[in-house]
């Protein structure tokens, strides 16, 4: 056994094995990653907002000398790592002084002899509830390889284990390498989708909280008790608070034997005069819901609410990026000033509100994203009764 371990095998005969790591470490936020974490194992959590198409990356390059036919096998590092071809021929180095040597840069890559692996580039964003007030959400670029490609789609909340790494980029204007500046990315070693059931996030409660929940469930006045905890600083509006409580708990999602699905989420539109605490109720629901995304109708578009197709300026490739309703999968989307939205933008979210899916057919990308979220919108009521004339 020891003889087999000590024997050196050619690099092209090593078994292709991929170890997927899943740890029980406490995930950190993207804001806590710094240069001290470079080349170290990290565990981060977030929500996937975009994913590229599956690409082919060379893992073992076969280069052949164009003059003497010498073949060299060059392993390629994982992630964004690259390898440079030898400047001189290895076979000509062993030739005598009287023999003709090959010129410089003799090697060319043989694509049919090169081994490839699957690679996918993802974009991870902080979860909306962990973003400090007034701050922009942080993003991180992920690289998934081989068995990890195609595992997640935009809108999924994940906990991943990977290695924080750096790669060299090119300037967009001159195409010159930046020698001193490196861009960070994470080489993914394992995914864990942080969801249970139909798009619901998994919550880990302590024993004291479980005991408190069981005692609360035995109360005969549980429904009025929950309603009283909905925005308690706002007086009145009992019917509205009952509706908001039912919306946050949600209904039963039914799946029939033929595969047809009926949504269990409740969509609510609040109508009222200015100054009747509509926006305050929206803010409370956005803070109290496990997954809540708040947006204003004036500053929202159809692409920002559903999904958009964006072209990468470096690779010139189109990729998909989810909007607010995709990021709030399993939660509630709060839209304030619903009447300020354009008509074409309001029509775009009808499919997400009814079918809880978002269909995309743009730039050669045809897919369906999950948007299993409830919608809470507000708009001022028309006051025609004030026109006494």
278-288 and 238-249 helices, crossing angle to 10°: 30
The tens-digit pLDDT sequence of the chain (389 residues) is 444 444 555 555 666 777 888 877 778 888 888 888 888 888 888 888 888 888 888 888 888 888 888 888 888 888 887 788 888 888 776 666 666 778 888 888 888 888 888 888 888 888 777 777 777 788 888 999 888 888 887 778 888 889 888 887 655 455 555 566 778 889 999 888 865 433 344 456 788 888 988 888 888 888 888 888 888 888 888 899 999 999 988 888 888 888 888 888 889 999 888 888 888 898 898 888 888 888 888 778 877 888 878 777 666 777 777 788 887 878 888 888 888 888 888 888 888 888 888 888 877 777 788 888 889 998 887 644 344 33
Q: List the structure tokens of 276.
A: 């009747």
Helix extents (H) in the chain: 2-6, 90-93, 207-217, 222-228, 238-249, 278-288, 302-305, 324-327, 343-348, 350-354
pTM of the predicted structure, to 2 decimals: 0.66
| Contact criterion met (CB below 8 Å) for 74 and 113 | no
Q: Three-class SS of residue 305?
A: helix
Distance CA 352, CA 368 (A): 11
Domain borders along the chain are 212-386
Query: For residue 317, what are its two tokens?
Result: 């490739």
Query: Residue 105: which residues within 8 A CB-CB, separation 6 or more?
Result: 85, 87
Domain 212-386 fold is Rossmann fold (3.40.50)
Contact 195, 203 (CB under 8 A): no
pLDDT of res. 11 = 54
SS3 percent helix, strand, coil of the chain, rounded to 5, is: 25, 30, 45
Three-class SS state of 196:
strand
Helix (H, G, I), strand (E, B) or coil at 324: helix
Residue 283 — φ and ψ, nearest 5°?
A: -65, -40
Q: Is 175 helix (H, G, I), strand (E, B) or coil?
A: coil
């Amino acid at each position: 056994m020891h003889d087999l371990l000590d024997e050196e095998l050619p690099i092209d005969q090593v078994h292709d094995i991929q170890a997927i790591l899943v740890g029980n470490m406490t995930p950190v936020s993207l804001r806590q990653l710094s240069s001290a974490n470079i080349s170290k194992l990290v565990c981060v959590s977030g929500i996937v907002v975009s994913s590229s198409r599956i690409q082919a990356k060379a893992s073992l390059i076969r280069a052949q000398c164009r003059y003497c036919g010498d073949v060299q096998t060059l392993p390629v590092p994982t992630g964004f790592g690259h390898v440079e071809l030898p400047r001189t021929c290895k076979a000509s180095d062993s030739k005598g002084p009287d023999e003709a040597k090959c010129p410089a840069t003799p090697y060319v890559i043989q694509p049919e002899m090169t081994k490839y692996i699957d690679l996918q580039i993802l974009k991870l964003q902080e979860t909306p509830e962990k973003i400090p007030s007034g701050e922009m959400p942080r993003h991180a670029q992920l690289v998934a390889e081989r068995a990890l490609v195609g595992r997640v789609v935009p809108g999924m909340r994940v906990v991943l284990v990977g290695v924080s790494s750096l790669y060299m980029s090119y300037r967009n204007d001159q195409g010159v390498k930046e020698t001193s500046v490196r861009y960070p990315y994470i080489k993914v070693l394992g995914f864990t989708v942080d969801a249970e059931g139909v798009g619901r996030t998994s919550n880990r409660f302590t024993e004291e909280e479980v005991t408190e929940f069981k005692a609360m469930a035995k109360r005969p006045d549980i429904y009025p008790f929950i309603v009283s905890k909905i925005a308690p600083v706002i007086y009145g509006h009992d019917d509205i608070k009952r509706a908001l409580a039912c919306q946050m708990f949600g209904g039963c999602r039914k799946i029939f034997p033929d595969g047809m699905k009926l949504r269990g989420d409740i969509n609510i539109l609040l109508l009222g005069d200015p100054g009747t605490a509509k926006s305050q109720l929206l803010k409370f629901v956005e803070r109290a819901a496990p997954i809540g995304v708040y947006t204003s109708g004036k500053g929202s578009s159809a692409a920002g609410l559903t999904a958009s197709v964006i072209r990468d300026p470096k690779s010139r490739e189109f990729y998909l990026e989810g909007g607010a309703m995709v990021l709030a999968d399993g939660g509630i989307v709060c839209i304030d000033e619903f009447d300020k939205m354009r008509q074409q933008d309001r029509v775009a979210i009808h499919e997400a509100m009814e079918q809880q899916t978002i269909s995309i057919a743009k730039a050669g990308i045809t897919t369906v994203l999950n948007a299993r979220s409830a919608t809470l919108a507000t708009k001022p009521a028309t006051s025609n009764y004030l026109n006494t004339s």
